[in-house]
């Protein structure tokens, strides 16, 4: 029996898992970083002047905060996948549920290059499904083009998931996180 349990544990470790994602807008990044460092007992995995991210394993969550956008609070939720196949499965599930989806494909935002799509729940909360392809040195590669400061990623004519969505909600032909 111990061998069988060990085999199951080995299989679990090799199995890919989605990571829950939460992005919150904050007014004071340094105060928020200090708070979440104490809460998570860990420093951020990525820290920039306008953004911080923790990649936690217990619970398995990608928790991000930023000063970009509208009033403080929840910006969006989501699932980060370990593989492109998992992302395809999430897209199939969204299509099967007849959810309105915005497929951004390969794009950049939140200091990362990702493949992603968005859906919005009945309350207007944006849900991001994404697979990270790599890190980039700027918040988004279209940063120079989008100098508005209020919406880091959405085009000026695009409507975000909610009126307060800052940088990363579903926006038509947006190129963001």
CATH at 26: 3.10.180.10
Do the domain assignments include residue 61? Answer: yes
Which of 36-40, 142-146, 148-152 comes out lowest in average pLDDT?
148-152
Grade residue 27 by pLDDT with cuts at 50, 70 and 90: very high
The count of structural domains within the chain is 1
pLDDT above 70 for 152:
no
Do the domain assignments include residue 109? Answer: yes
Beta carbons within 10 angstroms of residue 84's beta carbon: 11
**Region 126-140: what's the mean pLDDT?**
86
Do the domain assignments include residue 165? Answer: no
Do the domain assignments include residue 51? Answer: yes
pLDDT above 80 for 48:
yes
Grade residue 92 by pLDDT with cuts at 50, 70 and 90: very high
pTM of the predicted model as reported, rounded to 2 decimal places: 0.72
Do the domain assignments include residue 141? Answer: no
pLDDT above 90 for 155:
no
Question: What Rg value do the Cα atoms of the chain yield, rounded?
Answer: 17
Query: Token pair for residue 1?
Result: 């029996």
Average pLDDT, the chain: 77
Residue 100, domain extent: 14-135
pLDDT above 90 for 138:
no
User: What is the pLDDT at residue 96?
Assistant: 84
Do the domain assignments include residue 6? Answer: no
User: What is the pLDDT at residue 2?
Assistant: 54
Q: Residue 120 burial by CB count (10 A; 0-12/13-18/19+): exposed, middle or buried?
A: buried
The phi, psi pair for 30, rounded to 5°, reads: -65, -40
User: What is the pLDDT at residue 123?
Assistant: 87
Do the domain assignments include residue 7? Answer: no
Do the domain assignments include residue 82? Answer: yes
Which of 8-17, 67-76, 147-156 comes out lowest in average pLDDT?
147-156
User: What is the pLDDT at residue 146?
Assistant: 40
User: What is the pLDDT at residue 70?
Assistant: 85
C-alpha angle with apex 172: 20 to 125, nearest 5 degrees?
Answer: 35
pLDDT above 90 for 60:
yes
Residue pair 87/79 in contact by the 8 Å Cβ criterion = no
Query: Token pair for residue 127?
Result: 């849900």
Q: Cα–Cα distance between 9 and 69 in angstroms, integer?
A: 43
């Amino acid at each position: 029996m111990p061998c069988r349990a060990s085999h199951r544990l080995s299989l679990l470790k090799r199995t890919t898992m989605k990571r829950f994602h939460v992005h919150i807008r904050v007014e004071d990044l340094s105060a928020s970083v200090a708070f979440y460092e104490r809460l998570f007992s860990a420093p951020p995995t990525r820290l920039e002047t306008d953004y911080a991210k923790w990649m936690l394993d217990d619970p398995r969550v990608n928790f991000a905060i930023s000063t970009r956008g509208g009033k403080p609070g929840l910006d969006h939720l989501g699932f980060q996948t370990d593989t492109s196949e998992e992302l395809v499965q999430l897209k199939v599930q969204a299509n099967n549920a007849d959810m309105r989806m915005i497929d951004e494909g390969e794009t950049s935002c939140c200091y990362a290059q990702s493949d992603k799509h968005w859906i919005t729940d009945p309350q207007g909360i944006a849900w991001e499904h994404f697979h990270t392809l790599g890190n980039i040195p700027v918040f988004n590669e279209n940063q120079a083009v989008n100098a508005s400061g209020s919406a880091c990623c959405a085009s000026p004519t695009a409507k975000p998931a909610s009126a307060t969505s800052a940088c990363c909600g579903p926006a038509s032909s947006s190129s963001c996180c």
